[in-house]
Chains A and B, each alone.
Chain A
Amino acid sequence: DAGITQSPRHKVTETGTPVTLRCHQTENHRYMYWYRQDPGHGLRLIHYSYGVKDTDKGEVSDGYSVSRSKTEDFLLTLESATSSQTSVYFCAISGSGPYGYTFGSGTRLTVV
């Protein structure tokens, strides 16, 4: 969807290195989410934001941090990547409540 973009689309990194994934939206939506998708687990929430500088943890937040300094950008950082963080990461935006989540195309991250 043109209103939300994720970068990079693919990344291979080494264990122990820091990694930052970017989510950018042009919809001016209040809520932004970071999920990871793994086989057998569906989508699991890592962190979410309900406004600039307002963020909170999801169910699988260990090893991840986020920042939102502008409405349009939500960054996910892996401070020291581990092999268990190999996954597909999706960003989503929402104007309000559970309605109309829009997802980015995902970032496939491989930690070797």
Chain B
Amino acid sequence: DQQVKQNSPSLSVQEGRISILNCDYTNSMFDYFLWYKKYPAEGPTFLISISSIKDKNEDGRFTVFLNKSAKHLSLHIVPSQPGDSAVYFCAASAVDSNYQLIWGAGTKLIIKP
């Protein structure tokens, strides 16, 4: 049973437009959420995170929104740039699971020129 789900395996967006990547979770005990970005032949790198006490966190072009009632979070990238083409993983953790990260399957974002 996947506790963290990214239902879109891929997403194609025009350069300069907004990219919205979605993530759903089932475990109400999750209290910390992270987004990682992965290029081919490299390991994932941390992008942005959000605590469950917040509903929004911004870092430059990247904003993560958390809707706890819907158990849903989203990553917004504005404006999208060619270098944003990568696989994006959503991950979640809970204090009662010793903070181990539970990962979604990833969404491949393709930015079109």
Please state if B42 and A106 are interface contacts (CB–CB under 8 Å). Answer: yes
Inter-chain CA distance A104–B93, complex, in Å, is 20
Please state if A98 and B43 are interface contacts (CB–CB under 8 Å). Answer: no
A107, chain B: closest CB distance, angstroms: 10
Inter-chain CA distance A97–B95, complex, in Å, is 8
**Binary per-residue interface labels of chain A (48-72) against chain B in the complex, 1 for a CB within 8 Å, 0 otherwise:** 1010000000100000000000000
| Of the residues B44, B46, B93, B98, contact of A100 by C-beta under 8 Å | B46
Is B105 an interface position by the 8 A CB rule? Answer: yes
Inter-chain CA distance A106–B45, complex, in Å, is 12
Residues of A within 8 A of B43 (CB): 1, 90, 92, 102-106
Please state if A42 and B34 are interface contacts (CB–CB under 8 Å). Answer: no
Kindly state the interface size class of chain B when it binds its partner. 20 to 34
Known: A97-B99, A98-B93. A42 touches B42 (CB 8 A): no
Chain A: residues with Cβ within 8 Å of the partner, total of: 22
Is A12 an interface position by the 8 A CB rule? Answer: no
Residues of A within 8 A of B4 (CB): 42
Please state if B46 and A43 are interface contacts (CB–CB under 8 Å). Answer: no
Inter-chain CA distance A70–B46, complex, in Å, is 26
Known: A43-B89, A98-B32, A98-B34. A103 touches B45 (CB 8 A): yes
Q: Which of B68-107 contact A (CB under 8 A)?
A: 89, 91, 93, 98-101, 103-106
Residues of B within 8 A of A92 (CB): 43
Known: A44-B103, A98-B99. A106 touches B89 (CB 8 A): no
A86, chain B: closest CB distance, angstroms: 17
Q: Which residues of chain B have a CB within 8 Å of any CB of chain A?
A: 4, 6, 9, 32, 34, 36, 41-46, 49, 89, 91, 93, 98-101, 103-106
User: Can you add 5 more A-B contacts, CB < 8 Å, to A98-B91, A103-B44, A104-B43?
Assistant: A43-B101, A45-B100, A98-B99, A101-B101, A106-B42
